[in-house]
Amino acid sequence: MEQKEISKAVITRLPRYYRYLGELLEDGVERISSGELSTRMKVTASQIRQDLNKFGGFGQQGYGYNVRYLYAEIGKILGIDRQHNLIIIGAGNLGQAIANYANFERRGFMIKGMFDVNPRLIGLVVRGIEIRGVEELEKFIVDNDVQIAALTIPKTKAPEIADRLVKAGIKAIWNFAHIDLAVPDDVVVENVHLSESLMRLSYRVCSMQDEKEKKNLL
Q: Which residues bind ligand NAI (CB under 6 A)?
A: 89-95, 115-118, 121, 134, 152-155, 157, 161, 176-178, 192-195
CB of 86 to ligand NAI, least distance (A): 15
Nearest to ligand NAI of 51, 116 (CB atom): 116
Q: How far apart are CA 72 and CA 42, in angstroms?
A: 22
CB of 97 to ligand NAI, least distance (A): 8
CB of 151 to ligand NAI, least distance (A): 8
Return the closest-CA partner of residue 104 out of 130, 85, 123, 117. Answer: 85
Nearest to ligand NAI of 134, 168 (CB atom): 134
Element (H, E) at 144: none
What size, in residues, is the chain? Answer: 218
Nearest to ligand NAI of 22, 92 (CB atom): 92
Contact call for residues 3 and 57 (beta carbons, < 8 A)? no
Give the number of other Cβ atoms within 10 Å of residue 110's Cβ: 16
- Position with the least CB separation from ligand NAI: 92
Nearest to ligand NAI of 200, 212 (CB atom): 200
CB of 153 to ligand NAI, least distance (A): 4
Nearest to ligand NAI of 31, 155 (CB atom): 155
Q: How far apart are CA 37 and CA 66, in angstroms?
A: 12
CB of 185 to ligand NAI, least distance (A): 24
Q: What are phi and psi of 110, to 5 degrees?
A: -95, 115
Nearest to ligand NAI of 21, 162 (CB atom): 162
DSSP for 11-77 reads: HHHHHHHHHHHHHHHHTT--EE-HHHHHHHHTS-HHHHHHHHHTTSS-EETTTEEEHHHHHHHHHHH
CB of 112 to ligand NAI, least distance (A): 16
